Amino acid sequence: DARVTQTPRHKVTEMGQEVTMRCQPILGHNTVFWYRQTMMQGLELLAYFRNRAPLDDSGMPKDRFSAEMPDATLATLKIQPSEPRDSAVYFCASGWVWSDTQYFGPGTRLTVL
C-alpha cells in the first residue's frame, strides 16, 4: 500500500532556528504539494512541483520559506528563521500531472516557541 511519508512527525523548536521538513512522494507520482493547516486559516497551499520543477509558490512567505525537490523521491520545505506564527501542521501530498487526485502524508506538526 503506497503512501506519502513525512519526517519528522513532530518538531518543537525555538524562534530563529532553521526547520527542515521532508517528504517522500508515492513512487511514480509527478506532482508534489506542500500545504499548511492552522485552526485560523484552515488548509493553505504553499507550493507545488511538477516533474520536480517548482510551478507555483505564491502561497509561501518568500523571505523565510523555501521548497525544493532535489530528486524524484524527496521534497523538502525549509523555514529559516522560524517564527511562532509558523506553528502549524504541514502536509505533503503527491499525485499525477493529469489529475487533481492528491494523496496526503500524515503531516509534520511544528511548534515554534
Partner 1 sequence: DAKTTQPTSMDCAEGRAANLPCNHSTISGNEYVYWYRQIHSQGPQYIIHGLKNNETNEMASLIITEDRKSSTLILPHATLRDTAVYYCIVDSSNTGKLIFGQGTTLQVKP
Residues that bind partner 1 (CB under 8 A): 4, 31, 33, 35, 42-45, 48, 50, 55-56, 91, 93, 95, 97-107
In the complex, the smallest distance separating the C-beta of residue 110 from partner 1, rounded to whole angstroms, is 14
Q: Which is nearer to partner 1, 50 or 81 (CB)?
A: 50
Residue 85 buriedness (CB in 10 A; 0-12 / 13-18 / 19+): exposed
Estimate to the nearest angstrom the gap between the alpha carbon of 63 and the chain centroid.
16
Q: Which is nearer to partner 1, 5 or 13 (CB)?
A: 5
In the complex, the smallest distance separating the C-beta of residue 37 from partner 1, rounded to whole angstroms, is 9
Whether the Cβ atoms of residue 32 and residue 69 lie closer than 8 Å to each other: yes
Checking DSSP bridges between strand 10-13 and strand 108-112, what pairing results, if any? parallel
The phi, psi pair for 84, rounded to 5°, reads: -55, -30
Q: Which is nearer to partner 1, 35 or 65 (CB)?
A: 35
In the complex, the smallest distance separating the C-beta of residue 25 from partner 1, rounded to whole angstroms, is 13
